[in-house]
Amino acid sequence: MKEAGDLRPFFEPEAVAVVGSLREVPGTAYWVIRNMKHFGFSGPVYPINPNPAVYKMVFGAPVYASVLDVDGQIDLAAVITPPSTVPHIVAQCAQKGIQAVIVLSEGFAEAGREGARLQGQIQDLARATGIRIMGPNTFGVFNTANGLATLPPFTDQEKIQRGGVAFCSQTGSIGPHQMPLEDWAYPISKICDMGNKCDVDEADVLDYLADDPETQVVAMHLEEVRDGPRFMDAAGKCAARKPLVILKAGRTRGGASASASHTGALAGNEPIVEAAIRQAGAIRVRTWQELWEVPKTLLYQPLPGGSRFAVITFTGGQGVIAADAAQDAGLELAVFTPETARNLSRISDRLGGNPVDMGPVMSDSRSQGSSNPFSALEKAIPLVLDDPNVDCATITFYAGRQIASMFPALVDMVHASVRETATTVNVWIYGTSLSAMQEMARRFEAQGIPASFDLDRAIRTLGCAAGYAAGPARGERIR
């Protein structure tokens, strides 16, 4: 794991040192070690504290006064000590031959002049010694493959689902301590908070994630781009290999000035950023919720072959709203082939067009005493998904407590069609009960069918996928 310049020691270390206070509360080195144990990191973790006499043992490991006192090899050091002590500690890390340091501490460039000076010092150390530094002012990294978790805050999540989405961000508003990853069984490969980016920046992270076999989709939150040409190059390479979704904040005047005040960084020229992201073939999203939802569809589903969209609803009104949303998302309403139209109209003379409104059909079937209200739907779904004129589709589902017992059969029925088709499919779930909606969503996503509680966002997501598929980058189909 020794290639110069690569970030593997940050994400795939064999042995880690954690430097800082060993008080048993969140926000300390103790808690970093606790989180590492909690998420199952199995390599050696060396607690480092200047008072090894006070803290003799932590989680069964002896405490050392300095990384230099540790005999074994250390690949990564996570440092959470007062800013003024950090340069010395980083120098010791370099002396020990540690390749990667994450400076979790706050109080650097984002906090004023003295912090900026200290940040400059560790930046100089990185340049002089070749040690790589992530941060400062970061929660560092999270890796579901090895349980590495350098975040110091409390998180109440038991287990983050291992999967193909990497999230990286400029600030600590991302990660297992902030997002409902466990509730959604969100499929995570890596999480990375880049913080003040004194050394490791977005281009480094993109380079790493582009090569990371665990990562199939990259979601990135950015406030500023450190080095435009390097970023464009890295984004272009990454987006050519796997979908890259970017939320570039600070895109308005107010946002840019807010960004400058909290990171000390300039947000950059918005039209240039916009053009760079487009030219790289990445997907640009505008809201936090999109950054959350778009990657799932890209991971779970094949990329659409075009922008022809179909929607299957339980009421006609939803179909009209969906048609509007599709046009907003850059999609067009698919025109079914005559064969599909004919086959649909064999189910009911009310069917044949797109949107596909199953409401009247299911209501007829109920009034005719059918025992399975979903039998017409079961016939209609594969007809729509297999139509060669359809590239992507949203199916809407009602979820209420009283029909929760039908969810497994319903999801299996949809999945049977979805797994046989190359069409990109997601579902919009609405209903009377939030817990029932969540239960249904979990079941769909467990079968690789992404679920949203917002119809507009579900369709916008398909638009993002179609835009990526048609763009300069050509990601291979990911499943």
Rule CB under 8 A: which of 355-374 touch a copy of itself? 355, 357, 360, 363, 366-367
Q: Does 177 bind a copy of itself (CB under 8 A)?
A: yes
Output the six-digit token pair for 263.
């990171």
**By the rule CB under 8 A, 401 interacts with a copy of itself:** yes
**Cβ distance to a copy of itself smaller for residue 100 or 384:** 384
Binding test (CB under 8 A) with a copy of itself, winner from 150, 169, 394, 424: 169
- Smallest gap from Cβ 427 to a copy of itself, in A, equals 15
CB of 434 to a copy of itself, least distance (A): 5
Chosen residue from 437, 440, 464, 469 binding a copy of itself by CB under 8 A: 437
Q: Which of 155, 28, 130, 133 is nearest to 86 (CA)?
A: 133
Residue 456 sits in the site that holds a copy of itself (CB under 8 A): yes
User: Cβ neighbours of residue 388 under 8 Å, at least 6 residues apart?
Assistant: 337
Residue 345: CB minimum distance to a copy of itself, A:
12
Do 256 and 250 touch, CB atoms closer than 8 A?
yes
106 contacts a copy of itself (rule: CB under 8 A): yes
Tokens 């600070």 appear where?
A: 250
Q: Report, in Å, the least distance between residue 350 CB and a copy of itself.
A: 7
Separation CA 109–CA 353 (nearest Å): 59
Compute the least distance from the CB of residue 416 to a copy of itself, in Å: 26
> Which of 218, 303, 325, 383 lies at the binding interface for a copy of itself (CB under 8 A)?
325
CB atoms within 10 A of CB 172: 20
Does 455 contact a copy of itself by CB under 8 A? yes
Specify the stretch interacting with a copy of itself by CB under 8 A; choose among 46-54, 233-241, 382-390, 395-403.
395-403
Residues 20-49 that bind a copy of itself (CB under 8 A): 26-27
Helices (H) and strands (E) in the chain, counts: 16, 20
Per CB under 8 A, does 326 bind a copy of itself? yes
Sign of CA dihedral 353, 354, 357, 358: positive
Judged by CB under 8 A, the chain residues 183 through 212 that form the site for a copy of itself are 183
* Contact indicator for 80, 33 with CB cutoff of 8 Å: no
**The binder of a copy of itself chosen from 389, 431, 447, 470 (CB under 8 A):** 431
The count of chain residues that interact with a copy of itself, using the rule CB under 8 A, is: 85
CB of 99 or CB of 170, closer to a copy of itself: 170
Contact between 288 and a copy of itself by CB under 8 A: the answer reads: yes
- Dihedral angle computed from the Cα positions of residues 122, 126, 131 and 135, in that order, rounded to the nearest 10 degrees: 50
| Nearest to 104, CA basis, from 189, 2, 17 | 17
Token pair for residue 403?
Answer: 């029909």
Q: What are phi and psi of 310, to 5 degrees?
A: -120, 155
328 binds a copy of itself (CB under 8 A): yes
Here's the x/- map for a copy of itself, 329-358, by CB under 8 A: it reads as ---xx---------------xx--xxx-x-
d(CA 215, CA 320): 37
Smallest Cα–Cα separation from 210: which of 236, 229, 186? Answer: 236
Q: How far is the CB of 405 from a copy of itself (least distance, A)?
A: 13
Task: Find where tokens 């970093």 sit.
Answer: 32
CB-nearer residue toward a copy of itself: 183 or 476: 183
Stretch that binds a copy of itself, among 92-100, 150-158, 276-284, 412-420 (CB under 8 A): 150-158
Query: Could you tell me which stretch among 125-133, 384-392, 450-458, 465-473 binds a copy of itself (CB under 8 A)?
Result: 450-458
Is residue 321 involved in binding a copy of itself (CB under 8 A)? yes
Of residues 44-103, which lie at the interface with a copy of itself (CB under 8 A)? Answer: none
Q: Helix axis angle, 407-418 relative to 375-385, nearest 10°?
A: 20
Shortest separation between residue 128's beta carbon and a copy of itself, angstroms: 29
Instruction: Output the smallest distance, CB 421 to a copy of itself, in A.
Output: 22
Residue whose CB is less far from a copy of itself, 263 or 424: 263
- Give the interface segment with a copy of itself, choosing from 51-59, 95-103, 173-181, 207-215 (CB under 8 A): 173-181
Residue nearer to a copy of itself on the CB measure, 98 or 362 = 362
- Residues 240-269 contacting a copy of itself, CB under 8 A: 247, 249-255, 257-259, 261-263, 267
CB of 277 to a copy of itself, least distance (A): 15
